[in-house]
Each structure stands twice: as structure tokens, then as C-alpha cells.
Amino acid sequence: MASWILCCVSILSFFCLPGAAQDSKDHKKKLWDLQPKIDRAIDTGVEYLLSRQQRDGSWAFLQDQFPNGQTALAVYTLLKCDFPPNHPAVVRGLAFLDQTEPKETYSLACQVMALQASGAPGSKAKIAKLVKTLLKWQEKGAWGYPEWRTDLSNTQYGALALRAAHHAGIKVSKKTVSAMIKAALNSQEKAKTISLPAPPDGVNPKASRDSYGKTPSGLEYDRSGRSGKVAGFFYEKGSVRQPTGSMTTAGLGVLLICNQIMAGKMSGTMRTRMSSAVRSGLNWFRKNWAVDKNPGMAARHHYYYLYGLERVGSLLQEEILADHPWYFEGAKWLVSNQGGDGSWLDQEGNPFLPPNNTVRYHEHVTCFALLFLKRATRSSGSTGDKKERRGFKTYEAVATEYPVSLRGTGAATLSIWVSGFGKKVIAEHEGSGGIRVTKVQYFVDGSLVETIVGDSQKPWKFEKYPLKYAFKKPGKFKVTAKVFIRAATATDKEERPLVVLEAPGFTAEIDAVVQEWMISDAKARGRNLLHPLTKREPLNPMDAPKKAPKKRRYQVTSSSRRQGDEGGVNAFDGRQSSRWICQDGDALPSVMIKISKSIKTTSVRLSQACRNGSEAKDFDRITEVVLEINGSKEPISLTLNENVLASTIYTFPGPTKIKSLRVRVIGRRPSTINPGCAGFTEIALEGGK
């Protein structure tokens, strides 16, 4: 490892970083003062992400085109924000991702990154399989949307996936990396020598060392200190567009990742080309620096650019880029532009949406903002061994007040132990050979959950008698203990009567529990027999299949639909992000699907209109429905799950062929937000286990 670091430092010494001599004490003091706001921004940002997770563990943004993409990005973000791999949001997200193979470079890359960051059991094998697919998509070192031309944006994510695979212990061939380097270099404009802006006050371009003391600084200037070679990066080779900030960070990121994977082991010619490309790319930012916009594209892809800037700064291990304290300036802008709900707003819409779509999206840009604030690229390991994890709490009932001290730490699973005895108990047993423990009983809400046997023949020597207890549901729970010891008064140690010391304990607040319904809903996509029939064609023409779509093999009708909605078809499209909602005047709403060929089904799954916890009160809560199978005159009555987020499953006595299914709503509790509106995000026919 040491030799690898020295090699990288040697390579980076050729990258001649812009103006790292700025007064570091000044910006570090400002960053110190800003840190509490950064921490709050991260906390509220992750709370927003958690509130947007859908019942099946997924996130909604562009799910019709990139089914796995936003979910993989969100899971990766949560892990980088110190969530443990066993947190319900992470477990649910990974379970959802397991149901379908990603079909796009972005989605696959984010999934590899999430798996590597989780360190979950079996993740290395999954990464290896995904990387095999990724390499099949590579064309002349680059990636694009499969079945479409390559571009630097997709190539950057291909490189990020290979970096994650490399850190997971999967070998990435020199041939693959060399091809990526050439592809990135081909996306850079021809360098030109121009006059560069004068260094800001306090910056000495002739300084010999940067803030890390590793690389020469000021060498991007000529001897006059006022001109240098500049070359940004394009989205595509031969593009008529101008270089942009987001693509220049992408090009630099690909080159730096390739250098990291190869550990500097490359030919002298390639090394010289890379150092020259990085130098001129960094100089481009001296002329085009901004953190309040994406240089060359204004508000478009702004947060995507900031995450790219984070990668460059973190991969170079630099605090100063283009004479600017990049992290401080970017973090200051982000904390000043966060929404009240903890999210950040996509200021310019999204190119994958129809031109008339006016919806603003938050999920993906919130992820990019959080990844910047957490300096996500700086740490490449998994989160499984982190000592400080988000959601972990510590509890204690100290023996200064009670005869026994009891402590606990954890999240959904608590480690509980006896941490000591009170001074009075210790004093009473000093003359009789010490405290002798026969057993410890642990209780949760008054119920005995475990007994740990002690050894009464030996005096207590700070044994903890530990217990690990996994809670099965969220809530507040009283944790107490009884410690059975031998009395201090008797002369015969073996005949001493038992004395029971009670630890009043503590109240544990448990909110991060993986419940059974969560995993069931997360895996529902893989069991949905309707999904292959009803999934929609992508909106983005770059991702469209070459063959014409087959004739629709189903028909959906509904009693009504809310104005502006697409109707009942949304309830059968295999996505929690869309839904059918009836019109508010519909007294007996119903929705029906007819299938051209019957499907052998074992169960029906119904998911109510709210997609996540933040929408739990937005629509009428359906309490009872009837299922009409194949026009049967004997409908099946079904009471829906009291937990509105958990799906309701009706299991048939045996496999049942279904050609039509009508769901009628016959009971509901009105909402105060949208009274009269009720419906479903998804109705699925399921088969298999």
C-alpha cells in the first residue's frame, strides 16, 4: 500500500495543480465556522432522501427509463453519509436492485458503487457479474447508452464502476484502462496558450509546494506567471458544443481514476500525455471557475458538475483548485441553497423528460449535493467497518444512582451489557471475597428475553454478561435487567442466599428496523407476472429499442381518474412511482385489467396510492375491496393492511388462471388533504415463491 501511495504521489507531481498557495489558514478558518451548517445540511438532506423512498425500497426519479438508476444512486449516497449496511433504507434499496438487471451504463455503474460501498455478503460476486456486462458495452474505451453512440458522461460512470470494482478486489485489465485513457483524451479540445487571470491576492504562483506538500504549484504558468495551455473537455468526440465544467471534471475524473487503478504503471509517453491533459484541463477552470453554475451550461446539470468537481479535488487530494478552495466555496453555495424540506432543486428540468414537462425533480440533485458535502470520493472503502454510523445510539443507567449499571448501544440490534455495580454493593462485598454473580436476566417491556449464566465460584472481575437483542418493530422499549448475586453475610460461600439487584434500565428508541413487509415489497417486482406485459417503452429516444414494440396484450379500464392522471394503466405498470387515483366524486371506484392470454397466478398484491411515508395522509385510506376474478359472480372480500405503506396480499388456495381482474373499493377512511381521492400505485398478479 505504501509503495502504491508513493507511486500515485509521483504521478500527481506531474499534474501541476493550479495555485495551491492561497492562504490556507484563512479558508480553513472559514470552513471550520461553516462546518456546523454543513453537518445540518447533510442531516436534513438524508432525512429528505429517506422520506422519498417508496414502499418497494426504490426511488422514483426517471424510473420508467432507468429502473435501477436513482435507487442505486440514493443507496450509494446513504452509505457515503455513514448509514450502516443493515439500515432498513439500504437493505430495502439493495433488495429492490436485486430484482432486475440494469440496462444502462449510469444505472449499472451506480449499482456497482452501491454494492462496493455496502460490503454486503455476496456483493463481490454481484459486482463481478455487473462488470462483465459493463465491459461488453465498452466501445473503443468509452461507453454510451447501449445501442447508441458513446459519450464522456457515460464513460465517466463506466470509470467510476471500474474504480469501485478495483477497490472490491476485482482485477481491471491494463488494456481496458488504457482504452479509457485514450477515449478521455479524444474528448479534450486542442490545447491553446492564452493569458490566464492573475492569481488572486495572497496567491504566489512561484510557491514551491501546495497545501499537501506533495506537488509543485505555480508550474501551470509560464515564467511570466500570466499565460498557460488551456483545454476543456467535450460531451462527445468532435462535438460542435463548447467544453463545459461538467464534462471537464468528467474528463479529468476518468484520467485520475485510470491513474489510480494502474497505480502509475504506464509508459512514459502515456504518462506525459496524461499529465499534460490534466494540467491544461485544470487551467481551463482558471479561466472558467464557478460553483454557482455549471461553466458553459449555466444551471443545467449544475449539481452533477459539483459532484464531478468533488471527484477531481478528492482524487488529487487537493484543497485548492484553480486558486480556489473548491470545497469551501461549493459547500457554502450548497448550504445557502438548500430547500426547507432538506432537498436541493433541479433548476433547469431534465433533458430526458418531454419538453412540456414542468415538474422539478429533487432526488438526484440532492444525492449529488450530499456526495459533494461528504467528499464521497475521498473514501473508497466499504461502510461495513465504520466505527461511527448514522442511527447508532447509546443508552445508559449508571450505578451511581442504581445498584447495577446497564448500558446499550446500536440501532435495530442493541448490544446490552452490565457495566458495573454501585459503590454500596461493592463495599458490602469487600470483606466476603467480592461480588459473585450467578446469572443476569434481561427484560424488554417487562418480558424476559434472555438469561446469561455467571460463575458464582469466582468474584466478579468486570465481566459484562453481554446480550445482542434484535428488535422486530420500531417504537420505544424499556430495557431492564436483574442481576442475581450471592449475599455478603453468610460464612459458607456456596450456601449464601441469592440477592436480586435490579437495574431500572433505559428506554430505547428504535426506528431502524427491517420489517418483514419491507423485504416482501422490495422483492415484489421480481414476482410480478404482469410487469413483462405492461412495462412501457422508454421516453428517451436514445434508449429506445431497435425493434418495434409488440402489440399491447392487455386492456385497462377504470370507473374514473383524477384530472391530469393517465388512468388505470398506472396501477399495472410494475412501478411504485406511478399510480391510478379516482376522481373525488367517484363513490365506488374500480379498476380492471383484461389480459389476452390467461396467467397462472398464486396471489394478488395491492399497494395503496401513497408511495412513501411522506404521502401517508394524502389520499383516502382504503380499508376494504372486493376482487372479481374472470367475471365471477362470487367476488372475494379483502380487508387491507392497517399499515398503509405495507402491501396487502391475497393468496389463492391454489394456482389460479386469471384473464381478467377487477378491484372494487367498498370501504375507505377519508383524507383531509385530498378527500374522495383513492387508488393504487400497483396491483400485481404474482407467481412463484
pLDDT digits (tens, 9 = 90+) for 497-507: 888 999 888 99
What is the four-CA torsion angle of 138, 142, 147, 151, rounded to 10 degrees?
160
For the cut 60, the answer to whether the pLDDT of residue 354 exceeds it is: no
**Look-up of cell digits 496558450:** 193
Res 42: pLDDT: 96
Contact 199, 323 (CB under 8 A): yes
Q: Which amino acid is at 434?
A: G
650-669: pLDDT as tens digits: 999 999 999 999 999 999 99
The pLDDT of residue 445 is 95
Rounded CA-CA distance 249/308 in Å is 5
Paired sense of beta strands 413-421 and 621-629, if any: unpaired
Kindly report which listed range (34-43, 564-573, 578-587) carries the lowest average pLDDT score.
564-573
What is the identity of the amino acid at 98?
Answer: D
- State which amino acid sits at residue 591: V
pLDDT exceeds cutoff 90 at 197? no
* pLDDT value for 10: 45
Report the C-alpha gap between 371 and 306 in whole angstroms: 9
CA angle 186, 192, 198 (to 5 degrees): 125
How confident is the prediction for the chain on average, in pLDDT? 85
Cβ atoms within 10 A of the Cβ of 380, count?
Answer: 15
Task: Give pLDDT tens digits for 628-641.
Answer: 999 988 999 999 99
| Backbone torsion region of residue 180, taken as left when φ is above 0, otherwise alpha when ψ lies between -120 and 50, otherwise beta | alpha
Residues 6+ apart with CB under 8 A from 427: none
Helix, strand, or coil (residue 357)? coil
Bridge partners, residue 151, by sequence: 143
Provide the residue count of the chain. 689
pLDDT at 5: 40
> Does residue 60 contact residue 94 with C-beta atoms inside 8 Å?
no
How far is 565 from 129, CA to CA, in rounded Å? Answer: 39
HSE-up of residue 94 (Cα within 13 Å, Cβ side)? 27
Q: Which helix (H) or strand (E) holds 352?
A: none
As a whole number of angstroms, the distance between CA 24 and CA 528 comes to 57
Q: What angle is formed at CA 540 by the lines to CA 538 and CA 541, rounded to 5 degrees?
A: 100
Q: In this model, does residue 206 exceed pLDDT 60? A: no
Whether residue 61 contacts residue 70, with contact meaning beta carbons closer than 8 Å, is answered with yes
pLDDT surpassing 80 at residue 425: yes
Is residue 614 pLDDT above 60, yes or no? yes
C-alpha cell at 655: 394456482
Burial class (CB in 10 A: 0-12, 13-18, 19+), 69: buried
Residue-wise pLDDT tens digits, 669-684: 999 999 999 999 999 9
Extended beta strands in 328-446, E state: 393-397, 404-410, 413-421, 437-444
C-alpha 438: how far from chain center: 47
Q: What is the pLDDT of residue 563?
A: 84
Report the distance separating Cα 461 and Cα 313, nearest Å: 51
- The average pLDDT across 583-589 equals 94
Residue 609 has pLDDT above 90, yes or no: yes
688 backbone dihedrals φ, ψ, rounded to 5°: 80, -165
* Mean pLDDT, range 67-84, rounded to an integer: 95
Q: Report the sign of the C-alpha dihedral through residues 87, 89, 95, 101, in that order.
A: negative
Q: What is the pLDDT of residues 228-272, one digit of tens each?
A: 889 999 998 766 678 999 999 999 999 999 999 988 788 888 888
